[in-house]
């Protein structure tokens, strides 16, 4: 038999399996929290926003109150980097809020969700990776400029390295390993959080686009 | 701030739409409950922007299908398939050919992809291809092509399911 011949019976079967809910049941549902990925992302974005604001205030404080020039630059640069990230996070939050408030066609809805999640993953990854060279360069600058005011620096390096070349070789190796570790960890972490979900949504978009 | 009472009254009147979508997309009771809750919450969040240009039922279908398609369980409680032998059958000794065909068709619909299920759902609700296209975000022609393909697939699968059932009942 064809679908059209069974239309009314299938329709009936689809509505008979559950008992109806009262207005009170629905009112109670409205007080609960949603479990959708986009709402979880929204909650993550709010956490990022508060963390960024906290970090900016802290960096700005150390940047201005820092005793020397290197400290000033070091923390001010981090405050600026975090502020840039904050702007991106606020933009993404606005997009997710707009998405929740509208009932887009299925395909556009899927495309928007994929775009938002991919943007978040991309920016998060860029920010994390961008912090590594920034940390490294400014840490070196700090040591170079103010090695006199960091009394332990000379003792530590002197105990382990005979020449400056050796020390730089160690630092380069250390930062390379750290960068590789953070690179793979961040990729794995983001993929684990959203990777499979994004793949499934992309598959749905492909199915909708598929045409003979 | 949208009127909560008005929303609850409207949703109450149209809750069959939610049951249909939940039953079509989830085979486990607990999952259907989760999806029902999720659709209700998403509809409430979007209700403030519902201008009444479209019928509430059409708008609710859009919200419900968007939510169902993007809703993924963390862990599957059971395989997300509707095999004919999983459908509870309390009348195995009284063979009703129409009932068996409905079960076979229901099982075949359950095996469709998420987007194809949405198209079938709207088709069952008598929306025309243009309206289905608008809700899905594709052209009416594309809906027609897809619907033809879906119908052929459902027919083939229903025949296969029925043949399996007949084979089982003959040997049991």
| A33 pLDDT above the threshold of 60 | yes
B114 contacts B69 by C-beta, under 8 angstroms: yes
Query: How far does the CA of residue B15 sit from the closest CA of chain A (Å)?
Result: 8
Q: What is the pLDDT of residue A26?
A: 87
Q: What angle do CA B79, B81, B85 make, to 5 degrees?
A: 100
| A46 pLDDT above the threshold of 60 | yes
Q: What is the pLDDT of residue B127?
A: 92
A11-25: average pLDDT: 75
- Count of the separate structural domains present in chain A: 1
Beta carbons of B138 and A208 less than 8 Å apart: yes
Q: What is the pLDDT of residue B4?
A: 87
pLDDT band at A12 (very low <50, low <70, confident <90, very high): confident
Q: What is the pLDDT of residue A166?
A: 83
> Count of CB atoms within 10 A of residue A202's CB?
14
Q: What is the pLDDT of residue A73?
A: 79
Region label for B75, one of left (φ > 0), alpha (ψ between -120 and 50) or beta (otherwise): beta
Q: Report d(CA A35, CA B142) in Å as an integer.
A: 32
pLDDT band at A186 (very low <50, low <70, confident <90, very high): very high
Q: What is the pLDDT of residue B80?
A: 47
A21-39: average pLDDT: 84
Please name the residues between 128 and 157 in chain B that touch chain A, using a CB distance below 8 Å: 134-138, 142, 145, 150-151, 154-155
Least confidently predicted of A27-41, A65-79, B78-92, B121-135: B78-92
Q: Report d(CA A49, CA B91) in Å as an integer.
A: 59
Q: Regarding predicted confidence, which is higher, A23 or A208?
A: A208
Of B9, B24, B32, the CB nearest to A23: B9
| A149 pLDDT above the threshold of 90 | no
**Closest alpha carbon to B59 in B46, B71, B68:** B46
B77 contacts B33 by C-beta, under 8 angstroms: no
Task: Write the pLDDT tens digit of every residue in A165-174.
Answer: 887 888 889 8
Please name the residues between 62 and 121 in chain B that touch chain A, using a CB distance below 8 Å: 62-63, 65-67, 69-72, 98, 101-102, 105-106, 109, 113-116, 118, 120
Q: What's the pTM?
A: 0.80
Q: What is the pLDDT of residue B91?
A: 47
Q: What is the pLDDT of residue B51?
A: 78
Task: Write the pLDDT tens digit of every residue in A98-131.
Answer: 887 778 899 999 999 999 999 989 988 998 888 8
- Which 3-state string (H, E, C) describes chain A? CCHHHHHHHHHHHHHHCCCCCCHHHHHHHCCCCCCCHHHHHHHHHHHHHHHHHHHHHHHHHHHHHCCCHHHHHHHHHHHHHHHHHHHHHHHHHHHHHHHHHCCCCHHHHHHHHHHHHHHHHHHHHHHHHHHHHHHHHHHHHHHHHHCCCCHHHHHHHHHHCCCHHHHHHHHHHHHHHHHHHHHHHHHHHHHHHHHHHHHHHHHHHHHHHCCC
Q: Domain range for residue A197?
A: 3-211
Q: What is the pLDDT of residue A111?
A: 93
User: Is B129 buried (19+), middle (13-18) or exposed (0-12) by CB count in 10 A?
Assistant: buried
Within 13 Å of residue A109, how many CA atoms lie on the same side as its CB? 25
**Closest alpha carbon to A112 in A96, A132, A128:** A96
pLDDT band at A151 (very low <50, low <70, confident <90, very high): low
A125 contacts A88 by C-beta, under 8 angstroms: no
Query: How far does the CA of residue A96 sit from the closest CA of chain B (Å)?
Result: 12
Q: What angle do CA A11, B32, B30 make, to 5 degrees?
A: 140
Mean pLDDT per 10-residue section of chain B, whose length is 172 residues: 86 90 88 91 89 85 93 60 46 66 85 92 92 93 93 87 66 56
Beta carbons of B40 and A212 less than 8 Å apart: no
| A56 pLDDT above the threshold of 70 | yes
| A10 pLDDT above the threshold of 90 | no
Helix ranges (DSSP H) in chain B? 4-13, 15-25, 29-47, 56-70, 97-110, 114-124, 129-136, 140-171
| Residue B3: φ, ψ to 5° | -80, 110
A37-60: average pLDDT: 91
Q: Report d(CA A117, CA A125) in Å as an integer.
A: 12
The ipTM estimated for the assembled molecules is 0.81
């Amino acid at each position: 038999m064809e679908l059209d011949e069974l239309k009314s019976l299938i329709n009936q079967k689809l509505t008979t399996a559950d008992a109806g809910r009262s207005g009170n049941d629905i009112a109670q549902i409205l007080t609960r929290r949603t479990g959708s990925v986009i709402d979880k992302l929204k909650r993550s974005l709010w956490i990022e926003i508060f963390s960024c604001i906290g970090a900016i205030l802290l960096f700005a404080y150390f940047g201005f109150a820092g005793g020397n020039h290197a400290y000033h630059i070091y923390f001010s640069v981090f405050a600026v980097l975090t502020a840039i990230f904050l702007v991106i996070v606020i933009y993404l939050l606005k997009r997710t809020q707009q998405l929740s408030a509208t009932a887009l066609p299925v395909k556009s809805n899927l495309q928007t969700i994929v775009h938002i999640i991919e943007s978040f993953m991309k920016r998060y990854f860029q920010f994390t990776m961008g912090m590594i060279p920034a940390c490294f360069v400014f840490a070196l600058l700090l040591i170079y400029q103010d090695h006199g005011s960091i009394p332990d620096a000379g003792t530590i390096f002197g105990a382990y390295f005979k020449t400056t070349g050796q020390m730089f070789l160690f630092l380069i190796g250390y930062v390379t390993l750290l960068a590789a570790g953070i690179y793979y960890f961040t990729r794995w972490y983001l993929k684990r959080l959203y990777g499979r979900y994004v793949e499934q949504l992309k598959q749905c978009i492909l199915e909708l686009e598929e045409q003979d | 701030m949208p009127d909560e009472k008005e929303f609850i009254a409207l949703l109450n009147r149209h809750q069959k739409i939610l049951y249909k979508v939940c039953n079509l997309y989830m085979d486990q009771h607990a999952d259907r409950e989760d999806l029902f809750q999720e659709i209700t919450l998403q509809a409430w969040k979007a209700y403030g922007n519902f201008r009444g240009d479209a019928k509430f039922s059409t708008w609710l279908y859009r919200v419900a299908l968007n939510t169902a398609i993007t809703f993924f369980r963390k862990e599957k409680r059971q395989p997300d398939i509707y095999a004919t032998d999983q459908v509870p059958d309390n009348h195995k000794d009284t063979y009703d050919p129409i009932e068996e065909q409905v079960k076979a068709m229901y099982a075949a619909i359950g095996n469709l992809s998420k987007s194809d299920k949405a198209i079938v759902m709207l088709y069952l609700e008598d929306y025309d291809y243009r309206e289905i296209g608008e809700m899905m975000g594709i052209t009416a022609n594309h809906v027609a092509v897809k619907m033809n393909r879906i119908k052929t697939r459902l027919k083939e699968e229903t025949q296969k399911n029925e043949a399996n059932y007949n084979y089982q009942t003959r040997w049991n």
